[in-house]
């Protein structure tokens, strides 16, 4: 099944509860957009494109929940719901991008309120379907960068679970493997939420792709051994100059790759590129609860002294100078990024 999808029978959005993986595969269904906003905030669903699609279905739900007969009233309700959904997670621009697309449908719609409800559901479904198609295009472009026998370091989870299906950076790796290339993946465990150890390892196991989990702070060591050929990660928001906000730890990984002359690639759909921001310093960085850092035990005991405090930025910004190339659905982009990114975004008409 898809990570996020519409269940027509009961008129609800269904998603895989990613908090439970790999121990348990369970799906949850929501028929209230408030629940969808909570699911995004609590990371039932996570990964930039997946939360974009979830928010789109959430807004379609909001339209369905509102009983207004007048178009203007329904529009106002939907706008309010979009604000709530948008506030759920601030860094991944796909969330705002998907909501904007949905609101455009609402704003330009000519007809009755009932028809607008249907039109919004159609648009949400289109966003979800396009995501899968876009990921496959990115995967084909990116797979050409991988050679038979490569060992690749991958950060966070960027696979089918982070998108509607297939994935971004992990989708590229998956495609190269399907093309018959022998690949070995070193999976950054990705503290503190462990998306690598829990989700990427789970996906790779299902695809039959050989992998080993490494602690995040081992990446520099492996890059310095000469036994890693490439580094792949996704992106939650990329500024116009190519600076990219991605899961915390990406910056250190990219620095270590650069220092060792290992190519590092960010794989992002054009919906992740925010041309309104000139550089990465303008990207809002989500800071999550300190409990995500502190709730760790060893031998049944907390690993920190009682009363310890922690900081938990969920993302960091990798400067574009550390990226060898950027993979999008419209092709592989090389420097100068400012010029070339604007061109690929335009090419898709986004």
Which of 158, 241, 318, 330 binds ligand MRU (CB under 6 A)? It is 158
Which member of 188, 236, 243, 274 is catalytic? 236
195 binding ligand MRU? (CB under 6 A):
yes
Q: Which of residues 79-98 bind ligand MRU (CB under 6 A)?
A: 92
The answer to whether 236 is a known catalytic residue is yes
Strands (E) across the chain are located at 4-7, 12-16, 27-30, 151-154, 184-188, 211-214, 230-233, 237-239, 244-247, 264-267, 273-274, 297-298, 301-302, 315-318, 325-328, 331-333
Those residues whose C-beta lies under 8 Å from the C-beta of residue 113, and which sit 6 or more positions away, are: 68, 69, 70, 71, 73, 74
Q: Report the residue number, 116 or 173, with the smaller CB distance to ligand MRU.
A: 173
Q: Prior bond to 192 cis, omega within 30?
A: yes
Positive or negative, the Cα torsion across 29, 32, 37, 38?
A: negative
Which of 46, 75, 117, 320 binds ligand MRU (CB under 6 A)? It is 46
Report yes or no: 327 and 142 within 8 Å, Cβ to Cβ: yes
CB of 198 to ligand MRU, least distance (A): 10
How, if at all, do strands 12-16 and 4-7 pair? antiparallel
CB of 5 to ligand MRU, least distance (A): 17
Q: Report the residue number, 66 or 142, with the smaller CB distance to ligand MRU.
A: 142
Which of 21, 39, 48, 145 binds ligand MRU (CB under 6 A)? It is 48
171 binding ligand MRU? (CB under 6 A):
no
CB of 115 to ligand MRU, least distance (A): 33
Q: Report the residue number, 269 or 344, with the smaller CB distance to ligand MRU.
A: 269
- C-alpha dihedral, 329 to 330 to 335 to 336, nearest 10°: -130
314 binding ligand MRU? (CB under 6 A):
yes
Instruction: Point out the residue whose Cβ comes nearest to ligand MRU.
Output: 234
246 binding ligand MRU? (CB under 6 A):
yes
49 binding ligand MRU? (CB under 6 A):
yes
Q: Report the residue number, 192 or 332, with the smaller CB distance to ligand MRU.
A: 192
Q: Report the residue number, 195 or 270, with the smaller CB distance to ligand MRU.
A: 195
3 state SS of 103: helix
- C-alpha dihedral, 59 to 62 to 67 to 68, nearest 10°: -50
Q: DSSP state, 163? A: S
168 binding ligand MRU? (CB under 6 A):
yes
Number of C-beta neighbours around residue 263 at 10 A: 14
Nearest residue to 52 (alpha-carbon basis) of 207, 248, 282, 274: 274
Q: Report the residue number, 101 or 247, with the smaller CB distance to ligand MRU.
A: 247
Q: Which residues are catalytic?
A: 236
Binding residues for ligand MRU, rule: CB under 6 A, are 46-49, 92, 156, 158, 162-163, 168, 195, 233-236, 246-247, 314
């Amino acid at each position: 099944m898809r990570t996020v999808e519409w269940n027509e029978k009961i008129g609800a959005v269904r998603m895989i509860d990613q908090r439970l993986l790999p121990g348990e595969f369970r799906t949850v269904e929501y028929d209230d957009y408030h629940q969808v906003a909570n699911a995004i905030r609590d990371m039932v669903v996570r990964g930039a494109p997946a939360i974009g699609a979830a928010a789109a279905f959430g807004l379609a739900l909001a339209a369905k929940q509102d009983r207004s007969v007048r178009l203007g009233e329904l529009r106002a309700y939907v706008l309010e719901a979009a604000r709530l959904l948008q506030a759920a997670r601030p860094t991944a621009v796909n969330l705002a991008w998907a909501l904007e697309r949905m609101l455009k449908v609402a704003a330009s719609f000519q007809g009755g309120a009932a028809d607008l409800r249907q039109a919004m559901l159609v648009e949400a479904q289109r966003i979800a379907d396009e995501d899968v198609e876009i990921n496959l295009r990115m995967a084909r472009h990116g797979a050409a960068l991988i050679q038979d026998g490569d060992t690749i370091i991958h950060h966070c989870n960027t696979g089918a679970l982070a998108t509607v299906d297939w994935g971004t950076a992990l989708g590229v790796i998956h495609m190269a493997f399907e093309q018959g290339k022998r690949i070995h993946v070193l999976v950054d465990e990705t503290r503190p939420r462990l998306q690598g150890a829990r989700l990427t390892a789970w996906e790779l196991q299902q695809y039959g792709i050989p992998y080993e989990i490494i602690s995040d702070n081992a990446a520099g060591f492996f890059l310095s051994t000469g036994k890693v050929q490439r580094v792949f990660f996704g992106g939650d928001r990329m500024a116009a100059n190519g600076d990219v906000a991605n899961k915390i730890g990406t910056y250190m990984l990219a620095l270590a790759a650069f220092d060792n002359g290992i190519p590092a690639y960010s794989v992002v759909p054009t919906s992740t590129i925010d041309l309104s921001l000139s550089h990465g310093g303008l990207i809002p960085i989500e800071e999550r609860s300190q409990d995500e850092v502190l709730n760790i035990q060893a031998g049944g005991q907390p690993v920190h002294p009682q009363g310890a405090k922690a900081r938990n930025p969920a993302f960091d910004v990798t400067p574009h100078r550390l990226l060898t190339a950027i993979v999008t659905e419209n092709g592989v982009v090389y420097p100068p990024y400012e010029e070339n990114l604007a061109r690929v975004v335009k090419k898709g008409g986004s």
